Chain A
Amino acid sequence: MKTYLIMCRSVTSAQRAARLLENALIRSAAVKAPKDLTRSGCGYAVRIHADSERAVKLLRSREISIGKIYLTEDGSEYREVSL
């Protein structure tokens, strides 16, 4: 299964993003980001499993501040992807 993590600068941004995606019928959750993926210490992300391109487009169009996007498939290591 694919899992995308869209990095957010704060819990507020992550939750806003998750709410926006849920309203657009994209299943999502605000989660704590894995430590390896946060350069500056603690951070949050939005987790989704599908509709990644639509999700990112939507967040950008609504001026939600997002950072890098990571993908893991079936438990593999996270790798950065560009969408």
Chain B
Amino acid sequence: MIYLDSAATSFQKPPQVLRAFVKTLGEASSPGRGAHRPAMRAADAMLDMREDASAFFHFKDPERVVMTMNATHALNIAVRSLVRKGGRAVVSAYEHNAVIRPLHACGAEIDPAGGRAFDSEELLRSFREKLPGAALAVCTHVSNVFGYILPIREIAALCRENGVPLIVDASQSAGVLPLDAEELQADYIAMPGHKSLLGVPGSGLLLCGASAEPLLFGGSGSDSLSREMPPYLPDRLEAGTQNAPAASALSEGIRFIRRHGREHIEAHEKSLCRHMVELLHGKDGIELFLAPDESEQSGVLSLRITGRDCEEVASRLAADEICVRSGLHCAPLAHKSVGTLESGTVRLSFSPFNTHGEIEKAAAKLIKII
């Protein structure tokens, strides 16, 4: 099998991630619910993960690293913490429904910035124009559809200049691209644990640079006499039993990345993407969607085949055990920006475990489908 769908979730995990998950499942119970050994082991697993994430992302306070179910959960908390009904939210034109839907549900006015495909200058111009008076801004670091790397540092600087709180969606960048919380100074950075951080499904993180409002209410193992959630993090946002085995897996994922070098993983995924582009470029019937500047392209690639429905292409690849994603990828706004809303695209996304040989086999199959 050739797995090229790591932008959805990384399927291949380092063995130590799986071992850590099983070990904590076998030895730990519920964090913050007692002082017996299994409970304290669970709390240890949670704190290890917070400390690993805090160090990896240069985020000062591990107690403000909140564990969530996934990036969507984290983004929902962030949006609900900042949006007041009718407030204007400036978003990039590449946002996922994990941003758009919570904003809509909270009654925000959604104001997309930069509708021209892969044009960072236009995107920055548009943010500069729209930010004054906005209630908040939300920006993805990398388009989940096209792998386009947005100028997040510059956008964060513009938000600071305008005093507009910023939510960064790091779903496609955390673990692969440089992501420095201290430098960005965003109010919230949301990310999944199960994609490039190599943890397991059911894990995500929210780095809280600002105070946050709970999305879930319930037991926290602290301040039990109060009917309110505790005012401090992480307890304020972590109601109910937390997923300690997933926290252990996430810790190991982060440690794996540190050991192998994030920069090395980034270079590997980009080289796989480049290789695929070289093999497909110029082939009649294949349309590739790429950032014009190679430095703005991550290890995610979208394409179309003339006359073929993207779902048909993905199904034919799946029949040959080549796993890709097709359709709108839960990001209609991004497809609208690039002009692929009607057709959708086939998306190939790479991981540290893919090889150049796999890229050649997948490319050959795609060329056969034309």
Q: Which residues of A contact B (CB under 8 A)?
A: 9-13, 15-16, 19, 30-32, 39-44, 65
Chain A residue, CB-CB nearest to B234: A12
Query: Interface readout for B40-51 with A: 1 if CB under 8 Å, 0 if not?
Result: 100110110010
- Decide yes or no: A31 and B232 within 8 Å by CB, A12-B43, A12-B46 being known contacts: no
Task: Beyond the given A9-B223, A10-B220, A12-B63, please list 18 additional residue pairs across the A-B interface where CB-CB is below 8 A.
Answer: A9-B232, A10-B221, A10-B234, A11-B43, A12-B43, A12-B62, A12-B234, A15-B44, A39-B225, A40-B223, A40-B224, A41-B222, A41-B224, A41-B226, A42-B222, A42-B223, A42-B224, A43-B223
Query: Interface readout for B220-255 with A: 1 if CB under 8 Å, 0 if not?
Result: 111111100010101100000000000000000000
Chain B residue, CB-CB nearest to A40: B223
Chain B interface residue count, Cβ-Cβ cutoff 8 angstroms: 23
A-B contact count (CB 8 A): 65
- A30 near B35 with CB under 8 A, answer yes
Chain A residue, CB-CB nearest to B47: A15
Asked whether B193 is an interface residue with its Cβ less than 8 Å from the other chain, the reply is no
Max chain B Cβ within 10 angstroms of own Cβ: one of A11, A40, A43: A11
The distance in angstroms between the C-alpha atoms of A39 and B122, with both chains bound, is 56
Max chain A Cβ within 10 angstroms of own Cβ: one of B31, B34, B43: B43
* Top-10 shortest CB links A-B: A41-B224, A41-B225, A32-B35, A11-B32, A40-B223, A42-B224, A11-B43, A15-B47, A10-B222, A10-B235
The distance in angstroms between the C-alpha atoms of A42 and B31, with both chains bound, is 13
The distance in angstroms between the C-alpha atoms of A30 and B223, with both chains bound, is 17
- Decide yes or no: A10 and B35 within 8 Å by CB, A16-B62, A40-B224 being known contacts: no
Chain B residue, CB-CB nearest to A30: B40
The distance in angstroms between the C-alpha atoms of A64 and B178, with both chains bound, is 28
CB < 8 Å: which of B32, B35, B46 contacts A31? B35
Residues of chain A contacted by B31 (CB below 8 angstroms): 11
- B46 near A41 with CB under 8 A, answer no
- B46 near A9 with CB under 8 A, answer no
Max chain B Cβ within 10 angstroms of own Cβ: one of A16, A30, A42, A43: A42
The distance in angstroms between the C-alpha atoms of A19 and B40, with both chains bound, is 13
Residues of chain B contacted by A10 (CB below 8 angstroms): 32, 63, 220-222, 230, 232, 234-235
CB distance from B81 to the nearest CB of A (A): 19
CB distance from A65 to the nearest CB of B (A): 7
CB distance from A67 to the nearest CB of B (A): 11
The distance in angstroms between the C-alpha atoms of A19 and B230, with both chains bound, is 23
- B222 near A43 with CB under 8 A, answer yes
The distance in angstroms between the C-alpha atoms of A11 and B222, with both chains bound, is 8
- B63 near A32 with CB under 8 A, answer no
CB distance from A22 to the nearest CB of B (A): 12
Query: Interface readout for B195-234 with A: 1 if CB under 8 Å, 0 if not?
Result: 0000000000000000000000000111111100010101
Chain B residue, CB-CB nearest to A9: B232
The distance in angstroms between the C-alpha atoms of A32 and B226, with both chains bound, is 18
Residues of chain A contacted by B35 (CB below 8 angstroms): 30-32, 44
Chain A residue, CB-CB nearest to B222: A10
- B225 near A40 with CB under 8 A, answer yes
Residues of chain A contacted by B232 (CB below 8 angstroms): 9-10, 65
CB distance from A69 to the nearest CB of B (A): 18
- B47 near A12 with CB under 8 A, answer yes
- Decide yes or no: A42 and B221 within 8 Å by CB, A12-B47, A12-B234, A65-B232 being known contacts: yes
The distance in angstroms between the C-alpha atoms of A9 and B62, with both chains bound, is 15
The distance in angstroms between the C-alpha atoms of A65 and B17, with both chains bound, is 32
The distance in angstroms between the C-alpha atoms of A75 and B143, with both chains bound, is 62
Residues of chain B contacted by A11 (CB below 8 angstroms): 31-32, 43, 221-222
CB distance from B247 to the nearest CB of A (A): 12
- A9 near B221 with CB under 8 A, answer no
